[in-house]
Structure 1
């Protein structure tokens, strides 16, 4: 923050809290120097959610004490830390065989995010329990944290889940919604191909790609009961 920006910020603060105003020119000059010393590395405003005037307004509304420059500096530090916490390093465009260029690009991106010069890369926020408010509209539009095109690509790697999702969409019974009485697989778990040797010992316990027919019958009966109750 430059001296002229500090002077403008002090004028704004004086309008909200007259106790902080300085009428004497020497006191005003000393106040500007003090604030500039503490806020020299703090921007007045950025394009991504920070404005020192908002910090002053919030302090005036919530505290009976006059605001100090350290209050603004601490709010900026917290704001910057929160941005970095939401940031996931994108893959640098630099040659990975050049570790110095690779590291320099990573650090440059992080510095730009922390300084408010660019928004954080928030791919991690899409899968968190509490996504950032900026992503709420996007999640509502997609309807899921996994876009449909990506879900379709993943279906071949997780056929059991894809089959359950297809059954839910088409209104068919979901075998994994009930416990399998044949192999004792619990609800939500795929059936097991349990094999025993001649002595009764277990020889195999591999997952089945398809559920046991008796489990599908149980799921169908449970679905029919739900529809009848509705």
Structure 2
């Protein structure tokens, strides 16, 4: 809002709540100056709507922060649903080498979304077009299992998991596919074998117990 719009807003507020508007003209001027600072980024139309929404649910005098908080929440909601996928091809008037012009167009688009002049660009726009299948494949890969390249990179830090992968690749029995039958081990499915230690601690074994290997072999057969 501009400073000259604030007095009219305060007058409208006073129709619903006379307590907000003081009688002293100097106090009114000071109040208007404060509201102008707080509501500098808030559209006048939204401010009026926010006043009505406030008094529809609250008997307390409205503060400028009540209006600005509502506006910030609306802006956050709109921008959280906007991917910001600005497409230069949709603006043939732009020079591809005009970096300043591109930034201005991008800022104008975001401003239009904030002000409600343009709907947010949904996420679906990212996965549309010729590359949609590749995007979906990569999203599925990342969401359902660890990519092989990542698994191999983490192998030194995950010896048990790496051993399972190696066994499967070489066609050997995956002993960790079943729980260990050794009574003192307590290793469940997918967990490495252990042995009792001092103080109730358990120590992981590099290789599965032979009995577990035999049991896994029999189960696979």
Larger of the two Rg values belongs to structure: 2
User: Which structure shows the bigger proportion of residues in helix conformation?
Assistant: 2
Q: TM-score, normalised by structure 1?
A: 0.46
